[in-house]
Structure 1
Amino acid sequence: MAGDSKTEKATPKRRQDERKKGNVLVSKDIVTVVSLIGTFFALKILFPQMIANIKTFIYKAFGYAQTKSDITDDFVMVLTKETTLAFIQIVAPVILISVSLSIIATVAQTKPLFVVDSLKPKFNRINPLQGIKRLFSLKSLFDVIKGIIKIAILITILYSFITDSLLTISRTPQMDVSPSCVVLMDLTMSLVFKICLAFIAISVFDLFFQWWEYERQIKMSKHELKEEYKQMEGDPQIKSKINEVQRKMAMSRMMQAVPDADVVIKNPTHFAVALKYDFEKDGAPILLAKGQDEVALRIIKAAEDNDIYVLENKPLARAIFATTDINQEIPADFYGTVAEILVYVYKLKNKKLI
């Protein structure tokens, strides 16, 4: 159906719902590149210390081995302990930096996010039909093309690196261990730098594609927009019925207050306002009810049925109707005119105004 085609941009609520499900924009290539660059720069900085740790381990191992004529359990235990400690000292900082950079790069894209639903098993992932659908999706095609481009770039860079550095590499066996390690490290960093430059360009392109794919995936149909609006704002028909009921209840309360009025001022059938003044409680006359056309006629009839004096004053009726809300005091501009009316009405009913 035309209404089911997803042509509309996702609303903030839809984006928030997708985020709660764990469906957020993230480029894995960005994470890989950040981790790769950070790791190899850490290797370059930590390389002298790593070489020193390796030397210390070798000296300890050979020194301890010279004191033993045969292999014993104690020798194996000590050697295992020293090997483990050396491994931690050499490798652990690099691994920690790599993992930390991966986490930082991911959180920078997704913001802090923990989704419980992602821990639940999703059996649709093992559905063969769903698997085939994902296999031939646009995203899968892009990943395949991206993988081929990565391999081609990597082969090109490696070939260029080997042809340019073969002579230098062939001379390292003639050097001492430390200088040869430094040379190999420099060559490796040069190679990694070239690879990182190429992969940065790919990751930027991947980020734009992931953004485009994510926006396309979370698009909404017009029907979904209407349903979301109903959920957020309520069904318009139900809201209309609620408003109608509220209006009827307010009208009923207002009409019940008309018999308590001192006077009703009309114009002559289009507007009607019912006023009451209690000098012991009120600072000014209070508007108990007001209405226009049919409601005005109902107010007038209720006043007549309850022996409430009805006075015709077109300008005053219109002005009070327009400026005063129910159960509010009339504006000061009308005090004089309304006071004269109330004095007249109170005289007719032998009541005292104050």
Structure 2
Amino acid sequence: MAGEKTEKATPKKRKDQRKEGNVFQSKDVVTVISLLGSFCCLQLLFPMIYRTLRDCLIQFIGYAGTVEELGQGDVPKLGFQAGLVIIKGALPILLIACALAVIATGIQTRFLFASKAFKPKFSNLNPLNGIKNMFSLKSLVELLKGIVKIILLGVILFNILKGELFRLTNTMYMDLGVSTVYVLKKIMNLVFQVCMYFTAVAALDYFYQWWSYEKKLKMSKDEVKEEYKQLEGNPEIKGRIKDMQRQRARSRMMQAVPEADVIIRNPTHYAVALKYDPNRDNAPHLIAKGQDELALRIVKVAEEHDVTVIENKPLARGIYASTPLNAEIPGEYYGVVAEILVQVYKLKNRKLV
């Protein structure tokens, strides 16, 4: 069917969609990269975070044992210290997570910033559109992805905890530093396993988002033709413009015929008009040429303006085929044309040089 969208999107449509902010990306890829990067950062910064929390707890417990009553000035001070501890421990991880999310999104979208994407779309407020989106293929895929993620996470947690549950309960009897390192290792093991399985889900989601995006961009044959008309112009209009240009060129050429020194014809099929100015030109110029009906018109105008017309079949055909308009004739025709011009100039009492 003519309206069926079977054609790949044209570069123009891709460019227009990109300007609108319509590009494909996988949020699962961003999630996996941010999650893995955040926990790797946590593992690297854990000694610093541990020392910071330890010192803070020691300080606060010390206050609890020595200060009988907190004054109004102590609460802001302690709150400020607690805030610094939180910022020092959490801010680097948050910044790295944000940076990784921006980079992962930017790589997929080629760091696109489309201002049009921030404009409110009132069509989103239409409840009918919301209902349609709820039962769309995209919503179904998102639901299936969510179920798969929950199942994978549950299976991974069960496999890890069933063998480590007894050991985890014993951490309360261990040294705080040892138990913390042990728990962190188990958490990192859990995170790496989760990321490994979620990477597969993210890869499938990435290819699905690409497929869905390409499908959405597809165009019908009529749309491709219409776009071609917009880019290249309507073929009928272009044809008319070319016809008008040719007519104007012929009109200018016919206006130059009376200025010719000689018309060489064959006898009805070809006609060429030559002009030679010894003070300006190195060789005769072709100022008009025509075939069939146009050749007859050139001869007629020449006769009306008393321009000499000479019949020479091979010369007329040769100059017509080899010489562009307003260009010098090829050197191979110099001798023959010079003889013709000498005859013409004798008739008109002119000199060739």
Shorter-chain TM band: over 0.9
Give the letter for the 1:267 counterpart: N
For 2:266 and 2:72, the matched residues in 1 are separated by 113
Residues 1:282 and 2:281 are matched in the alignment: yes
Deviates more, 1:153-162 or 1:252-261: 153-162
CA RMSD of aligned residues (A): 1.2
**Structure 1 segment 17-32 matched on structure 2, within 5 A:** 17-32=16-31
Displacement of 1:135 in angstroms is 1.5
Residue 53 of structure 2 corresponds to 54
Gaps of 5+ in 1: none
- Residue 272 of structure 2 aligns to a residue in which SS? strand
Residue 292 of structure 1 corresponds to 291
For 1:343 and 1:225, the matched residues in 2 are separated by 61
Contact map agreement 2:105 2:111 (CA 8 A) in 1: no
Residue 9 of structure 2 corresponds to 10
Residue 164 of structure 2 corresponds to 165
Displacement of 1:66 in angstroms is 5.1
Residue 336 of structure 1 corresponds to 335
Change (3 A) 1:287 1:69: same
For 1:135 and 1:259, the matched residues in 2 are separated by 79
Give the letter for the 1:125 counterpart: N
For 2:196 and 2:6, the matched residues in 1 are separated by 37
Deviations 1:52-81 (A, max 9, x none): 111222233344555533211221121111
**Structure 1 segment 19-168 matched on structure 2, within 5 A:** 19-64=18-63, 68-168=67-167
For 1:174 and 1:31, the matched residues in 2 are separated by 39
Residues 1:206 and 2:227 are matched in the alignment: no
For 1:285 and 1:182, the matched residues in 2 are separated by 98
Give the letter for the 2:27 counterpart: K
- Residue 73 of structure 1 aligns to a residue in which SS? coil
- Residue 287 of structure 1 aligns to a residue in which SS? strand
Deviations 1:310-336 (A, max 9, x none): 111111111111111111111122111
For 1:263 and 1:139, the matched residues in 2 are separated by 78
Give the letter for the 1:251 counterpart: R
Deviations 1:16-60 (A, max 9, x none): 111111111101111111111111111111111110111222233
Displacement of 1:127 in angstroms is 1.1
Displacement of 1:307 in angstroms is 0.7
Give the letter for the 1:266 counterpart: R
Deviates more, 1:26-35 or 1:60-69: 60-69
* Deviation beyond 6 Å, 4+ runs, structure 1: none
Residue 195 of structure 2 corresponds to 196
For 1:189 and 1:180, the matched residues in 2 are separated by 14
The normalised TM-score by structure 1 is 0.97
Give the letter for the 1:107 counterpart: G
Give the letter for the 1:169 counterpart: L
The normalised TM-score by structure 2 is 0.97
Identity %, equivalent residues: 52
Deviations 1:123-143 (A, max 9, x none): 111112211221221111111
Residue 307 of structure 1 corresponds to 306
For 1:323 and 1:82, the matched residues in 2 are separated by 93
Displacement of 1:146 in angstroms is 1.1
Contact map agreement 2:345 2:352 (CA 8 A) in 1: yes
Give the letter for the 1:333 counterpart: E
Contact map agreement 2:2 2:221 (CA 8 A) in 1: yes
Give the letter for the 2:128 counterpart: L
For 1:181 and 1:35, the matched residues in 2 are separated by 23
Displacement of 1:279 in angstroms is 0.8
Deviates more, 1:334-343 or 1:95-104: 334-343
- Residue 291 of structure 1 aligns to a residue in which SS? strand
- Residue 311 of structure 1 aligns to a residue in which SS? strand
For 1:96 and 1:116, the matched residues in 2 are separated by 25
